[in-house]
Amino acid sequence: MICIKKVNKYYGKTKVLKGVDMEIRDGEIFGIIGHSGAGKSTLLRCINGLEDYKEGSILVNNKEIRTLNEKQLREMRKELGMIFQHFSLLERKTVFENIALPLECFKYSKEDINKRVLELLDLVGIKDKKDIKPRNLSGGQKQRVAIARALALNPKVLLCDEATSALDPNTTKSILALLKDINKKLGITIVMVTHQMEVIKQICTKVAIMEGGEVLEIGETEEIFLHNTKALRKLIGEDNIVLPQGTNIKILFPKGTSNESLITKMARDLDIDFSIVFGKLEKFRDDILGSLIINVSNKSGESVKRYLDNKGIIWEEIVND
């Protein structure tokens, strides 16, 4: 469990993390999304003690990171594997040697290293590449090596800093599938820092949206997308999607529901006109979720809300501000 409370972090006089609160539970795939400069990487680096924070608390498995000395930090980092956008592999070493590095650092025997590296190569699906140098690998294969190396010491948590940002869409998909598989097989907690919405949609069970050093919103990924929350709309630049006049009502279609005829039937039943402002279907892992924003006159607004309530439909009014 990673428990972050009221963390403030400064670079010089600039405050780059502002009262960050977050709880990441064991076994979750937790996404942290935001534009460049939001503070995502800084937060990740505070979690594994690469950066200091002066105010607030970060507990990893009940240990306050700020209070650990170098030796304790080294021990703690065994539990926190990390991968990066640009893989950070040693070019002069082979794939095998790269993966073996953390095990050598912690003085594992040759025999144990051999056994563990072969296991890891198998887990990430690059057994045939073991004697190759990184420059002869594709980006996706390099990230697989980095993942294997990060898992070498059996960490409880895998921190991923823009791990798929340098990869093409298909390779991104395959790396995300691998991470999901690792999460399932090993029960490892995964924290994904990203600016790519696809990453969040494809594998994250929870998400925190950050901006300017602050957490704007945290919740179940599905809920945040289904409700198309203000923070999410801001992030994807759909903030001004509603019409300035009348009443804008968002109708939600959670998974497994089909309300296609609902709107036209409602318009007939209530004898009102409506405009469709925005509609979308989103693919989430294995489900499709939908939402539709309609605009009706202020006069009809109340009867529409009552109608939807009576039919048990989830809706919310979107107020332009």
Ligand X SMILES: Nc1ncnc2c1ncn2[C@@H]1O[C@H](COP(=O)(O)OP(=O)(O)OP(=O)(O)O)[C@@H](O)[C@H]1O
Q: Does 37 bind ligand X (CB under 6 A)?
A: yes
Tokens of 158: 């895998």
Q: Does 182 bind ligand X (CB under 6 A)?
A: no
What gap in Å lies between CA 242 and CA 278, rounded to an integer? 8
Q: Which of 20, 28, 33, 41 binds ligand X (CB under 6 A)?
A: 41
Question: Which stretches of 193-261 are DSSP H helices?
Answer: 197-203, 221-226, 230-235
Angle at 196 between CA 243 and CA 9, to 5 degrees: 95
Q: Does 215 bind ligand X (CB under 6 A)?
A: no
Q: Does 31 bind ligand X (CB under 6 A)?
A: no
Q: Which of 39, 102, 155, 246 binds ligand X (CB under 6 A)?
A: 39
Q: Does 36 bind ligand X (CB under 6 A)?
A: yes
Q: Which is nearer to ligand X, 88 or 94 (CB)?
A: 88
Q: What is the pattern of x (binds ligand X, CB under 6 A) and - over residues 193-212?
A: --x-----------------
The least CB distance from residue 47 to ligand X, in Å, is 12
298: left (phi over 0), alpha (psi -120 to 50) or beta: alpha
What gap in Å lies between CA 178 and CA 292, rounded to an integer? 33
What gap in Å lies between CA 230 and CA 319, rounded to an integer? 10
Q: Does 246 bind ligand X (CB under 6 A)?
A: no
What gap in Å lies between CA 4 and CA 317, rounded to an integer? 33
> Where does this chain touch ligand X (CB under 6 A) — which range of 38-46, 105-113, 152-160, 179-187?
38-46
DSSP string, 10-73: EETTEEEEEEEEEEE-TT-EEEEE-STTSSHHHHHHHHTTSS--SEEEEEETTEEGGG--HHHH
Q: Does 86 bind ligand X (CB under 6 A)?
A: no
Q: Which is nearer to ligand X, 11 or 106 (CB)?
A: 11
Phi, psi of 91 (to 5 degrees): -65, -30
> Where does this chain touch ligand X (CB under 6 A) — which range of 30-38, 105-113, 225-233, 283-291?
30-38
Q: Which of 5, 6, 11, 61 binds ligand X (CB under 6 A)?
A: 11
The least CB distance from residue 31 to ligand X, in Å, is 13
Residues that bind ligand X (CB under 6 A): 11, 16, 34, 36-42, 195
